[in-house]
Every structure is written in structure tokens, then in C-alpha cells.
Amino acid sequence: MIASEIVKELYELTQENRKGIEYYAEAMDHLARCENQLDKVEAHAFIASEGSVANRQAEAKLASAEARLERDLAKAQVERVRAKLRMIDSSIMAQATAAKMVQAEMKL
């Protein structure tokens, strides 16, 4: 690999990393909103239920199942973005190492 290819690859990875950070922020925002919605639905269902505390909790959990699913999917999206960012970081480190090797060879 020649120096110009390494520089180009590093530039592309850096751009992709910037986009990934934006996606991560959006995913975290969506997760926060989903958790908020889950809390609201669960609390309203608990208050509207009758019976023992255990029965009210069970009814609230059932009533909030859809909101819980949305929250879990949002968590999974956050994890996918994190994994992608880690992969990009690893690629950047590998390219930086290759750049140092090319630089060392040029000095010889």
C-alpha cells in the first residue's frame, strides 16, 4: 500500500466515523424518548389498574409491552452503532500503523 492510498483510506474512515458519531447521538436520543414513553405508559397503566400491588404491576407490564419492545429495539440500535464505531476505530488504528510502517520504510 502506498502513502497516498493510506491517506485516502484514513480520510474516508474519519468521515465515516464523524457520521457514526451523529448516528450514535440520534440513536441515544431515540432511546431516551423510548424509555420516557415506556415509563409513562407503565405508570398510567399501574395507576389505572385495580387490585393488589402485584396485580397492578403485572397489568402495567402487559399494557406497556409494546413500549418496552420499542425501547429494546432502540437499545439494540445503539449497540449496533457502537459496534460500528469500534470497528471504524480499529480500522483507523490499522491504517495509522500502516502509515507509520510506510514512513519508516521511506527513511531507509
3-state secondary structure of 69: helix
Contact present, 18 and 54 (Cβ < 8 Å): no
Look at the chain and report how many structural domains it folds into: 1
Tens digit of each residue's pLDDT (9 = 90 or more) over 9-45: 999 999 999 999 999 999 999 999 999 999 999 999 9
pLDDT at 1: 62
pLDDT at 35: 98
pLDDT at 81: 97
Tens digit of each residue's pLDDT (9 = 90 or more) over 70-91: 999 999 999 999 999 999 999 9
As given in the structure block, the three cell numbers for residue 67 are 413500549
d(CA 37, CA 2): 52
Domain that holds residue 96: 3-107
Q: Which phi and psi angles does 56 have, rounded to 5°? A: -65, -40
Going by pLDDT thresholds of 50, 70 and 90, the confidence category of residue 103 is: confident
